[in-house]
């Protein structure tokens, strides 16, 4: 493997293994999720100056007032998303640096990801290319609108918090499809799992979380 991707010192396999131990101590049980996190180079998604902290279980700045999500949160959300069984097509809102997108790409058949900050999306595209994530399609746009061309989705995962669940995303969920989304104002957000049934939606309340807000419109 390319040395940049493999990592050395603070980005080495040994450092990553410590993160995996931490995630399992915190309750992540999916072997698939843990092994994909172990094998995905998080350090290439952050600035070089932060690379030595890439395998700490913390969110880190990625510019434009945004952050790469905490590994535990990525693991938790992806585990919840996958708990309903194999996923053919997944919609991700908030590509950010593309880290979670790369994780999803290894666990589901097709990933469609939307980001509203063009500069972030451009960088994410490069990283996803470097990692040869060929089953990912990204789009510059407002995630509140979903991506009707590829709907319905059997999984939707949202990485920024709206104040309420966007109706459009509910409509783009397949029957038995699962939507994992943080909802609420800063300081009082809750992670929700919403499952579409034959005649409506079931809602399960999960952890209290802290995400950047989901905003309207796009930033060029």
The least CB distance from residue 121 to ligand SAH, in Å, is: 8
Lay out the site mask for ligand SAH across 116-155 (x = CB under 6 A, - = otherwise): xx--x---------------------xxx-----------
Active site residue 12: no
Chain length of the chain: 220
Lay out the site mask for ligand SAH across 83-102 (x = CB under 6 A, - = otherwise): ----------xx-xx-xx--
Instruction: Answer yes or no whether residue 40 interacts with ligand SAH by CB under 6 A.
Output: no
Rounded Cα distance between 151 and 139, Å, is 14
When binding is defined by CB under 6 A, the residue of 38, 130, 206, 212 that contacts ligand SAH is 212
The least CB distance from residue 10 to ligand SAH, in Å, is: 19
**Residues in touch with ligand SAH (CB under 6 A):** 62, 66-69, 93-94, 96-97, 99-100, 114-117, 120, 142-144, 159-160, 212, 214-215
Catalytic residue annotation: 69
């Amino acid at each position: 493997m390319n040395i940049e991707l493999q990592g050395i010192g603070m980005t080495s396999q040994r450092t990553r293994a410590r993160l995996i131990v931490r995630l399992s101590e915190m309750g992540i049980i999916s072997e698939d999720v843990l092994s994909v996190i172990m094998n995905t180079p998080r350090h290439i998604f952050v600035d070089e100056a932060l690379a030595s902290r890439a395998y700490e279980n913390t969110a880190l700045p990625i510019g434009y007032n945004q952050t790469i999500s905490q590994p535990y949160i990525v693991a938790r959300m992806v585990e919840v998303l996958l708990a309903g069984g194999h996923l053919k097509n997944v919609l991700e809102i908030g590509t950010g640096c593309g880290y979670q997108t790369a994780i999803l790409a290894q666990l589901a058949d097709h990933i469609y990801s939307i980001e509203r900050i063009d500069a972030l999306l451009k960088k994410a595209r490069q990283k996803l290319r470097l990692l040869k994530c060929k089953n990912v399609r990204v789009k510059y746009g407002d995630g509140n609108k979903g991506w009707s061309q590829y709907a319905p989705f059997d999984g939707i995962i949202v990485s920024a918090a709206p104040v309420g669940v966007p109706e459009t995303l509910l409509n783009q969920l397949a029957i038995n499809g699962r939507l994992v989304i943080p909802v609420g104002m800063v300081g009082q957000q809750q992670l929700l799992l919403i499952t579409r049934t034959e005649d409506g939606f079931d809602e399960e309340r999960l952890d209290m979380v802290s995400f950047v807000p989901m905003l309207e419109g796009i930033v060029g």
